[in-house]
A and B are shown apart, each in its own frame.
Chain A
Amino acid sequence: MDTHVAEKQYIQVEGLSKTFKLKHPIIDILMKKPRKLLKAVDDVSFTIEKGETLGLVGESGCGKSTLARTIVRLYEPDQGKIFFDGLDIAALEGKALREERKKFQMIFQDPYSSLNPRMSVRDMLTEVMLFHRICTRSEVDHHIAELLRTVGMSEATAERFPGEFSGGQRQRLGIARALALNPSFIIADEPVSALDVSIQAQVINLLADIQEALNLTLLFISHDLRVVRHVTHRVAVMYLGKIVEMAETEALFKEAAHPYTKVLIKAAPVLDPRNRTREYAIEGEPPSPINLPAGCRFNPRCSYAKDICRREEPRLEEVKPGRLAACHFPLIA
């Protein structure tokens, strides 16, 4: 494998896998049944350029959140490499990892559980900055004021506790905490899903502003295709632990290459009451990731499936310049 540093993209994930071992019930042990495994992330590879926003979409259980948490090393990856500016952070441990962590941070979905309810805003930000020696104690107040201004909140809010803020304000504080370390790469895991529409727009604008001002690289995870289309440069679509399609956002939304992508786009409710259909975008529900079907994971639900789809798993390959799809019969060629 090529590990030459100069050729790496800013973020380069290679063959990342994460499997969870499920509880092994006593009955199964006695019956000598093997322990069940859940392949949440299965051999995922992608790259993100500096300053780019990559969207990650898929339905619940597709592994997008696990992927995010594996990249930030909340979970230990089973396999694969995560190159961050040329350095494989999947192999880092201890102090080296802690040093490197400053550069990649995460924004969470639930504004109600993502802030420590017993720490004031000032305590929270002070702890982060002093722990990583971002500044000296005397400079902390100045930095906090600046951070709060960046996320559109007044300095007077620093003494308050999370319980005193609304959902949108909490999300801003979560962003401030991530920014406190001056990271260059941020993973936003459903950052606006829990917010009301009008507040959602405020936070989306804020993220866009911050990204531009600080030249951040973003991995933006969402199940809301409308938001993803608005926010991202490129999109990766996940299904049952694998990326099935990856392309420039507009190109993907105009014309899907993978049948599953097409289904997802079709299923999102159109904002035009005159444009209604009766037929389902797709029948049924995704199968359990514990017992994956043979061949292409999407084949049992795919209206284009042929024999080969049931035997051979397609690889994520370029079907057109800049467009990757894991399908034997991509919809565009």
Chain B
Amino acid sequence: MDTLDITALPPAALNRKKKISIWKKSPSLNAGVVMVGLVLIFAGLPGLIAAFSPTSQDADHILEAPSLAHPFGTDNFGRDVFARVVHGTRIDLTIGLLATLVPFITGSLIGLIAGYYGKWVDSVLMRILDIFMAFPFIVLVIAIVAILGPGLNNLYIAIWLVGWKDYARLVRSEVMVAKNAEYVQAAKILGFGDLRILLRHILPNVLSVSIVFAAADVVMCMLSGASLSFLGLGVQPPTPEWGAIISEGRAYLSQAWWICAFPGLALVFAGTGFSLLGDGLSDLLRTKGR
């Protein structure tokens, strides 16, 4: 037998160092993790952070400017805007995550199937996709909500029906490259079935673009949720949702800017956090690939 001694292997420590240095070198990943972490804490423990209840009204303190007692001021019912924004975090985050998760799964699966099987399967799925692509996202969502009626559940359904298309397109193009890679051919020759090849060999190699996109998509979905609530099609008052708060505060914009400004800033903060996280993830996943 050949007794070649392979001494030139890079030491494993080197690789570990590389992984750590990515954390160090990707400021966007760090900032993203911290910001999203804050958002998660707000969403998880609103009661600990906000002193007031988001719905308790106080007729003595109507439209008060930000103060020590009410850092974000109060609204037209005397509700604490800080409490409403903090409690709204959970709702907006849930909208963002739920509205992203389902299309992420369905879209990726559709892309996987279309890209792997090709031929007529691909043609049919891609023509359906083309139809969805032809309408602007928000217009389609509004149309669906208008048909189903306003409300949070219908909002989810609308975004789920529309949001899969980007994932399907991204994953499909990646699969079309990956399925010709020699490691996939090797898997076929090893006798593995389609399901095993798709899920164990192709999926992990094509998912990184989807994951990166999903991080940005959370922002999009939070914004869409907020926009629709603002338009009165999503979350209904008095539930504290950022878009709904802004919508309610709109009438008082000239007297009490804080009602609109703080939920707006919260949206910007959460959005920036997820965008940075997506950016950092794409650095991380790209380096890990090879």
Classify A-B as touching or not with yes or no (CB < 8 A): yes
Q: Which of A23-31, A103-111, A225-233, A292-300 contacts B (4 or more CB under 8 A)?
A: A103-111
Evaluate contact between B6 and A160: CB separation under 8 angstroms. Answer: no
Decide yes or no whether A157 CB sits under 8 A from chain B: yes
Distance A152 CA – B7 CA, assembled complex (angstroms)? 11
Decide yes or no whether B55 CB sits under 8 A from chain A: no
Evaluate contact between A164 and B189: CB separation under 8 angstroms. Answer: no
Q: Which of B22-30, B64-72, B198-206 contacts A (4 or more CB under 8 A)?
A: B198-206
Q: Which residues in chain B, 265-290, are within 8 Å of chain A measured between CB atoms?
A: 288-290
Nearest-neighbor residue (CB-CB) of B181 within chain A:
A113
- Complex partner residue of B205 from A116, A154, A163, A213, CB under 8 angstroms: A116
Decide yes or no whether A306 CB sits under 8 A from chain B: no
Evaluate contact between A181 and B190: CB separation under 8 angstroms. Answer: yes
Evaluate contact between B4 and A118: CB separation under 8 angstroms. Answer: no
Q: Which of A124-132, A246-254, A258-266 contacts B (4 or more CB under 8 A)?
A: A124-132
Given known A116-B201, A152-B3, A163-B289, contact A101–B191 (CB-CB < 8 A): yes
Distance A202 CA – B187 CA, assembled complex (angstroms)? 26
Interface 0/1 of A135-166, CB less than 8 Å to B: 00000000000000110111001011001111
Decide yes or no whether B183 CB sits under 8 A from chain A: yes
Given known A152-B4, A209-B1, contact A117–B189 (CB-CB < 8 A): no
Query: Chain B's nearest CB lies how many Å from the CB of A80?
Result: 19
Evaluate contact between A213 and B1: CB separation under 8 angstroms. Answer: yes
Nearest-neighbor residue (CB-CB) of B287 within chain A:
A163
- Complex partner residue of B10 from A119, A131, A164, CB under 8 angstroms: A164
Q: Which residues in chain A, 79-125, are within 8 Å of chain B measured between CB atoms?
A: 97-98, 101-102, 104-106, 108-110, 113-119
Query: Chain A's nearest CB lies how many Å from the CB of B204?
Result: 4
Distance A202 CA – B1 CA, assembled complex (angstroms)? 12
Interfacial chain A residues near B12, Cβ < 8 Å: 159-160, 164
Interfacial chain A residues near B289, Cβ < 8 Å: 117-118, 163
Decide yes or no whether A169 CB sits under 8 A from chain B: yes
Given known A118-B204, A152-B6, A163-B289, contact A72–B189 (CB-CB < 8 A): yes
Interfacial chain A residues near B190, Cβ < 8 Å: 101, 105, 128, 131-132, 177, 181
Q: Which residues in chain B, 143-188, are within 8 Å of chain A measured between CB atoms?
A: 181-183, 185-188
Q: Which residues in chain A, 43-101, are within 8 Å of chain B measured between CB atoms?
A: 69, 72-74, 97-98, 101
Q: How many residues of B contact A (CB 8 A)?
A: 29
Decide yes or no whether A205 CB sits under 8 A from chain B: yes
Given known A101-B189, A164-B10, contact A113–B183 (CB-CB < 8 A): yes
Interfacial chain A residues near B15, Cβ < 8 Å: 160, 164
Decide yes or no whether A302 CB sits under 8 A from chain B: no
Interfacial chain A residues near B3, Cβ < 8 Å: 152
Evaluate contact between A131 and B189: CB separation under 8 angstroms. Answer: no
Nearest-neighbor residue (CB-CB) of B10 within chain A:
A164
Distance A105 CA – B6 CA, assembled complex (angstroms)? 25
Decide yes or no whether A206 CB sits under 8 A from chain B: yes
- Complex partner residue of B6 from A153, A164, A174, CB under 8 angstroms: A153
Query: Chain B's nearest CB lies how many Å from the CB of A111?
Result: 9
Distance A169 CA – B12 CA, assembled complex (angstroms)? 15
Query: Chain A's nearest CB lies how many Å from the CB of B117?
Result: 15
Decide yes or no whether B20 CB sits under 8 A from chain A: no
Interfacial chain A residues near B188, Cβ < 8 Å: 74
Distance A202 CA – B8 CA, assembled complex (angstroms)? 14
Q: Which residues in chain A, 167-222, are within 8 Å of chain B measured between CB atoms?
A: 169, 174, 177, 181, 202, 205-206, 209, 213
Distance A221 CA – B271 CA, assembled complex (angstroms)? 55
Q: Which of B12, B15, B190, B290 has the most CB of A within 10 A?
A: B190
Interfacial chain B residues near A157, Cβ < 8 Å: 6, 9
Nearest-neighbor residue (CB-CB) of B185 within chain A:
A74
Evaluate contact between A102 and B189: CB separation under 8 angstroms. Answer: no
Distance A177 CA – B191 CA, assembled complex (angstroms)? 13
Decide yes or no whether B2 CB sits under 8 A from chain A: yes
Distance A218 CA – B12 CA, assembled complex (angstroms)? 35
Interfacial chain A residues near B77, Cβ < 8 Å: none
Query: Chain B's nearest CB lies how many Å from the CB of A147?
Result: 12
Q: List 19 A-B contacts (CB under 8 A).
A: A69-B185, A101-B191, A105-B190, A109-B182, A113-B181, A113-B182, A114-B182, A116-B201, A116-B205, A119-B201, A152-B4, A152-B6, A153-B6, A163-B289, A164-B10, A165-B9, A174-B186, A202-B2, A205-B2
Q: Which 5 A-B pairs have CB atoms at the shortest separation, nearest pair first?
A: A114-B182, A101-B191, A98-B191, A152-B4, A108-B182
A residues contacting B by CB (< 8 A) are 69, 72-74, 97-98, 101-102, 104-106, 108-110, 113-119, 127-128, 131-132, 149-150, 152-154, 157, 159-160, 163-166, 169, 174, 177, 181, 202, 205-206, 209, 213
